[in-house]
Amino acid sequence: MNTPLRKVGVAMLVMVTLLLVNATYVQFVKADDYRSDGRNTRVLLDEYSRERGKIVSEAAGQVLAGVKPTDDRFSFRRTYANGPMYAPVTGYYSIRYGAGGLEREMDEFLNGSDPRLFVRRLSDMITGRDPRGGNVRLTVRPSVQQAAYRAMTERGFTGSVVALDPKTGEILAMVSTPSYDPNRLASHNSDKQQQAWEQFTNAPQNPMLNRAIKETYPPGSTFKIVTTAAALENGANADTRVTSQANITLPGTTADLENFAGQPCPGNTLKDALAYSCNTAFAELAGQLGAEKLRETAANFGIGMTDLFVPMRVVPSELGDLASQAELYQSGIGQRDVRLTPMQDALLSATVANDGVAMKPRLIDSLLAPDLSTIEDFSPEELTGEPALSAANADVLTDMMIASEANTSGGGKDPALRIASKTGTAEHGVDPKATPPHAWYTAFAPHDDPKVAVAVIVESGGDRGLAATGGTVAAEIGRATIAAALGGG
């Protein structure tokens, strides 16, 4: 009977071998598929219960997004200091709804699974410590962000403020109002999360929209910076004669295009036209330049870029078709189909401030390991590689913008700031004359050694309704932001 017993023994060996081979298949060959399957909650739960890295502000190192230990099964809860103020910068991190904004873009790094953290994680494994995520240090300066956010919310404005360092592209402030509190989405109570999410997503003002980079608006007269730059690059100078008519007829149509309040332009040079924001002059200029040249200069400012990441994607700004002279006329003053993000509008000033070279805007200063040692530093990069205008022309345009600032009303004026600016009052809507316009202000300062460039948009006239202009509504906010940037050093 021993022979069959031995054979049964062999059969047992074969059965266990089969199990082992199959286990190898499941745990090696298919392991990655199973691990990364969306229905496998383990990885997700692990990620949530890992100590997520912090998001800290520039130099001063304020913690904008941190973690708090909890005694539930996720171990840590995401906390946001000044949640609504920094929400456009940090984004949100919700167990139920995933991550948004920077939290999402930098998720791998923050949750510790980024390969750049690997050596450290290995050492964590050996020392038996729970692996922690890396920290992200931002370029945002709390004083600037705070000043901009306060100025916007004090009067309940809907809109956005972007402040850049024109020489490096560092984003000093990025505000979008009304905002939302990401702390509520980070709650570990599923019902509270859901309640907050529904409230935010159903609100008509759309508080979770980051207007600075995810929304485009007609730029109005702030776009005249681009038209002027194109003209200067194509042979014009500050004294070039332009029309000073109060209104002109759009070529090929019977429609009129008129200056603000229907007034003739106080001067007839290019400099006067920008200083007084004369629509007729820029409409004609754009018509003379033609679509191609206007588009070329606009592209060098970054308009039309589809792959701009800060690291969140910035939706592309655009010029529209520019198919006819009439369209060109209207586009020359930033109407028609021209649409810019507030980020792009800030880039207009920043480009002029930086001798005509646009710098790539970025939100991240450096990546830090859990122990705060630097893993990666980011250095300034040019945005398009082509200057939008020469350094000499940039100086000419700066002079014009200084003159424009001198003609701009609004509060917060302080000669010590030495601002060069351009306002905009952009018509929009189905019935533009009856819809309160968007109030724009884009500026940089100090004009002789630029340290900050801003763009402000207050949607639909802010608190002034139809009477709103860039100067009366937006300028004060821009100046407050600049003052904070220069004061804070």
Partner 1 sequence: MSQPGSASRAAQYATNPPRELPKRSGTELALLAFAAFIVTSAFVLVQANQEQELSWAVVWYGLAYLAIFAVAHLAVRRWAPYADPLILPCVALLNGLGLVMIYRIDLAEAERAISLSQEVSSEAPRQVLFTVVALALFLGVLAVVKDHRTLTRYAYTFGLVGIVALALPALLPRSLSEVNGAKVWLKLPGFSIQPGEFAKILLMIFFASFLVAKRDLFMAAGKRVLGVELPRARDLGPILIAAVACLGILVFEKDLGTALLFFGIVLVMLYVATERIIWVVVGLTMFLGGALIAYQLFTHVQQRVANWIDPLATYNEPGGGYQIAQGLFGLGTGGMFGTGLGSGRPDTVPEANTDFITAAIGEELGFVGLSAVLMLYLLLAMRGMRGALAVRDTFGKLLGGGLSFAIIMQVFVIVGGVTKLIPMTGITTPFLSYGGSSLLANYILVALLLRISDAARRPQASAKPRQPVQQAPLAEAHTVMVQRPPQQQTGGPGDQAAGGGRYP
Active site residues: 472
Site track for partner 1 across 20-39, x = CB under 8 A: x-xxx-xxx-xxxxxx-x-x
User: How far apart are alpha carbons 442 and 423 in whole angstroms?
Assistant: 6
DSSP annotation of 460: G
Among 59, 60, 72, 380, interactor with partner 1 by CB under 8 A: 72
DSSP 195-257: HHHHHHHH-TT-TT--HHHH--B--GGGGHHHHHHHHHHTT--TT-B----SEEEPTTSS-EE
Toward partner 1, which CB reaches closer, 21 or 467?
21
Size of the site for partner 1 (CB under 8 A): 38
Toward partner 1, which CB reaches closer, 30 or 241?
30
Please give the residues from 178 up to 197 whose contact with partner 1 meets the rule CB under 8 A. Answer: none
* Residue 65: closest CA among 48, 40, 82: 82
Among 43, 246, 315, 375, interactor with partner 1 by CB under 8 A: 43
**In the complex, minimum distance from the CB of residue 94 to partner 1, in angstroms, rounded to a whole number:** 17
**In the complex, minimum distance from the CB of residue 105 to partner 1, in angstroms, rounded to a whole number:** 26
**In the complex, minimum distance from the CB of residue 126 to partner 1, in angstroms, rounded to a whole number:** 13
**Under rule CB under 8 A, residue 122 binds partner 1:** no
Toward partner 1, which CB reaches closer, 14 or 255?
14
The arrangement of strands across the sheet holding 159-164 comes to 171-177, 159-164, 452-458, 438-445, 420-426
User: How far apart are alpha carbons 287 and 346 in whole angstroms?
Assistant: 25
Number of Cβ atoms within 10 Å of the Cβ of 292: 8
**In the complex, minimum distance from the CB of residue 22 to partner 1, in angstroms, rounded to a whole number:** 4
DSSP annotation of 131: P
Among 68, 69, 73, 191, interactor with partner 1 by CB under 8 A: 73
Toward partner 1, which CB reaches closer, 25 or 309?
25
Toward partner 1, which CB reaches closer, 19 or 323?
19
**Under rule CB under 8 A, residue 69 binds partner 1:** no
Toward partner 1, which CB reaches closer, 108 or 337?
108
Inter-residue contact 391 to 354 (CB < 8 Å): no
Toward partner 1, which CB reaches closer, 36 or 379?
36
Tokens at 190, concatenated: 């599923």
* Residue 311: closest CA among 159, 100, 163: 100
Among 41, 205, 237, 253, interactor with partner 1 by CB under 8 A: 41
* Residue 402: closest CA among 281, 282, 274: 274
Please give the residues from 340 up to 379 whose contact with partner 1 meets the rule CB under 8 A. Answer: none
**Under rule CB under 8 A, residue 199 binds partner 1:** no
Tokens at 415, concatenated: 């000669």
Please give the residues from 123 up to 152 whose contact with partner 1 meets the rule CB under 8 A. Answer: none
Inter-residue contact 181 to 187 (CB < 8 Å): no
**In the complex, minimum distance from the CB of residue 72 to partner 1, in angstroms, rounded to a whole number:** 6
Q: Near partner 1 by CB under 8 A, which window of 16-24, 93-101, 110-118, 374-382?
A: 16-24
First to last CA, the chain: 94
Inter-residue contact 120 to 375 (CB < 8 Å): no
**In the complex, minimum distance from the CB of residue 31 to partner 1, in angstroms, rounded to a whole number:** 4
* Type and span of the H or E element at 374: strand 374-377
* Residue 452: closest CA among 481, 412, 474, 475: 481
Q: In sequence order, what are the beta bridge partners of 424?
A: 440
Toward partner 1, which CB reaches closer, 8 or 255?
8
**In the complex, minimum distance from the CB of residue 71 to partner 1, in angstroms, rounded to a whole number:** 9
Q: In sequence order, what are the beta bridge partners of 456?
A: 161, 441
Site track for partner 1 across 46-65, x = CB under 8 A: x-------------------
Type of residue numbered 232: L
User: How far apart are alpha carbons 475 and 138 in whole angstroms?
Assistant: 26
**In the complex, minimum distance from the CB of residue 195 to partner 1, in angstroms, rounded to a whole number:** 19
**Under rule CB under 8 A, residue 246 binds partner 1:** no
Type of residue numbered 169: G
Q: Near partner 1 by CB under 8 A, which window of 17-25, 202-210, 286-294, 334-342?
A: 17-25
User: Where does this chain bind partner 1 (CB under 8 A)?
Assistant: 1-6, 8-9, 11-13, 15-16, 18-20, 22-24, 26-28, 30-35, 37, 39-43, 45-46, 72-73
